[in-house]
Chain A
Amino acid sequence: MNFIFDKNTWQEIFGSIGKNKTRTIITVIGVLWGIFIYIALSGSAKGLDNGFEKAFETVAMNSMFVWAQQTSMPYEGFKTGRQLQLKMGDVTVLQNRVPAIQNIAPRNAKGVFGDEPALVVNGQKSGNYSIYGDYPVFTKIATKKIYDRGRFINDDDIDQTRKVCVIGERTQSELFNKDEDPIGAYIRIDDIYFQIVGVHKFTPGGGFETDSDIYIPFTTYRKLYNTGDNVGWLTIAAYDDADVVQAEADVKTVLKRIHRVDPGDERAFGSFNLGEVFNRIVGFAKGMTFLSLVVGIATILAGVIGIGNILLISVKERTKELGVRRALGATPNEVKSQIILESVFLTVIAGIMGIILGAGTLSLINGFTEGADFPYANPTVPIPYVLGALVIMVVLGTLIGLIPAQRAVSIKPIDALREE
């Protein structure tokens, strides 16, 4: 080990790799490029991964929407084409029959699916906005970010059918002056006064919501729009470890039984499975990470092989020099370790430069995509990956250095000296 820290060992190495600077630089670029690709690719893949994660962070990853449609098969005496309607009772039955369900939130909405939005008035200002009737449990499925001092609808609101609402940040800017505090203020929704209890921040991803939606308690909505037991659609979150696709199928089966629909009727209930979509995206991101690892490591390998190749040529050129060294008393091991050290040194230097360059490129890309509407955030390469790459390079550098090193000592000193 002493010999690695000996200044002369390094002089020997610098001397021999400095002999042909252009060639050394080109060789180094080979490995540098490899590690650069590795860092840039895996960092980008991670960035993409983070980006998707960020886009979906407000919605439970394994959630789904279920709504009622028309039957497409006759069943139990009902003719085909019957319009189905979800009822409040379905919620309890689903919760009891489908164990995979963690949270289930029935919702109603006005002004979302083609019907007329509600007229909302605050003094001289007015606008048309979508109104949602919600239960507090909804925030457990899709997080709503509420601004300072505000809150979402709570259980008391539901129980007492309170006339309270949560407005969107756009609603606030359109109905209120800038210096006005909306919390506690009253607005008129379809001629009924509601007190504002919160302002929600719009978070993209997962559905049709906008930054101007108004949420009111489900029970109040029912009274206001006279919807009775009807439910517009169900938002369901499965447990984290549950199979979302299976949960979706189970939910539909139960609903079909309740509503007396042919079990084979595929069109009776519509659904959108966010979990499935999300799983697909996660799979894609994982694939990207894997691909970047494979491509990166393959490129590093190509670079290291380049170093081995150059050292092989260099050993051939230095046959005589190595012969002289051995005549002067260099043991085969000393000659070998010098050449391996050269290989490792070149690889590591190239690797470190590649890592720096790759990290620089990643932060540059991050700067460009910061504000852009592109699922890309905080591209990082985990430290173990970087260390792993370095270890791989040292190991490969050593292994590849073994070939020229073996070649160097396989020639007898006397033959090496004779070589002209």
Chain B
Amino acid sequence: MIEIKDLHKSYRMGSNSLHVLKGINFTAESGELVAIMGSSGSGKSTLLNILGMLDEADSGDYTLDGVPIKNLNETKAAKYRNKFLGFIFQSFNLINYKSALENVALPLYYQRIPRKERQERAMKYLGQVGLKEWAHHLPSELSGGQKQRVAIARAMAAEPKVLLADEPTGALDSTTSYEVMDLIQKINDQGNTILVVTHEDDIAHMCKRIIHLKDGVIEKDEKVTQVRASQYV
């Protein structure tokens, strides 16, 4: 599903450049649930941004579902993001003047799906995250956990190939974190590929594979026995 080869990325900071990713190689198969771990500055967010086509690598190859991701202009990147990727952010990033349903329907709007179908599909995914009754509430009327579930529904709505979660539990308490991870596991059980960036050990162990990043290189890539989040809920 995801294939990256010898990925390099450096940021220019005035006169000196900061080499953030120093040759990353990894492959993720379809249906995998991968945690990317590392301390701050290890390059994990940069890696995720490159995977999410929000940023571009200096060198190296990136293939997503057989499509080489290279030399994208903004319009093409936007189309690929819409088609291939679902984003889950640490700070939810819901649009605060839109109801939960409208937030979930937004990626479908950019796919030019007719309004009625959009609403139906958005409702279906809201139901999957258990927030059907909250469909017409504004984000400000939802709790943190609910907001993240709306965000997950939104990421799912476009039926992407890969879900990218950047510290999805970073702003949540542990009980809510486990609820969210439970949801992510369930989505993964349906066969979706998910990448989770986290620095929390327990969250990482709820994935099936952990990639440890350190100073821009992969330090360790291990398969782990998945801890089901449902047992904590």
Residues of B within 8 Å of A328, CB to CB, are 81-82, 87, 106-107, 110, 154, 158
Segment from A26-34, A51-59, A409-417 that makes contact with B: A409-417
- Quick check: B93 and A329 within 8 Å, CB to CB? no
B87 and A331 form a contact (CB under 8 A):
no
Q: Which of A12-20, A74-82, A285-293 lies at the binding interface? A: A12-20
Q: What chain A residues lie within 8 Å of B118 (beta carbons)?
A: 8
State in angstroms the CA–CA spacing of A211 and B81 once bound together: 86
- B residues 67-106 in Cβ contact with A at 8 Å: 74-75, 78-79, 81-83, 87, 89, 93, 95, 97-98, 102, 106
Q: How many A-B residue pairs have CB under 8 A?
A: 69
What is the CA–CA distance of A409 and B55 in the complex, to the nearest angstrom? Answer: 15
Q: Cβ of A412: which chain B residues have Cβ within 8 Å of it? A: 54-55
- In A302-330, the 8 Å CB interface with B consists of 320-321, 323-330
Kindly supply a per-residue 1/0 record for chain B positions 151-167, scoring 1 wherever the CB is within 8 Å of any chain A CB and 0 otherwise.
Answer: 00010001000000000
A262 at the interface (CB under 8 A from B): no
Q: Report Cα–Cα, A409/B73, bound state, in Å.
A: 12
Closest Cβ neighbor of A409 among chain B residues? B74
Tell me whether B39 is interfacial, beta carbon within 8 Å: no
Which chain A positions have C-beta within 8 A of B98?
15
State whether B110 touches A327 (Cβ < 8 A). Answer: no
CB-defined contacts of A324 to chain B, threshold 8 Å: 89, 93, 95
Task: Give Cα distance in the complex from A6 to B105, angstroms.
Answer: 14
- Chain B's interface size range is 20 to 34
CB-based contact B78/A8 at 8 Å: no
Chain A at the B interface: mostly helix, strand, loop or mixed? helix
Check B81–A417 contact: CB distance below 8 A.
no
| Cross-chain contact A329 with B97 (CB below 8 angstroms) | no
Q: Is residue A375 within 8 Å, beta carbon to beta carbon, of the partner chain?
A: no
Residues of the A chain whose Cβ atoms lie less than 8 Å from the Cβ of B110: 325, 328-331, 334
Given contacts A15-B98, A417-B89, contact A8 B54 (CB under 8 A): no
B102 to A, closest residue via Cβ: A11
Q: List 16 A-B contacts (CB under 8 A).
A: A320-B93, A324-B89, A326-B74, A328-B82, A328-B154, A328-B158, A329-B81, A329-B111, A329-B158, A330-B110, A331-B75, A331-B110, A334-B78, A412-B55, A413-B54, A417-B89
**In the complex, given contacts A324-B93, A331-B74, what are 15 additional A-B residue pairs having Cβ atoms less than 8 angstroms apart?**
A8-B118, A16-B97, A18-B97, A19-B97, A320-B93, A326-B74, A328-B81, A328-B158, A329-B82, A329-B83, A329-B158, A331-B78, A334-B78, A409-B74, A417-B89
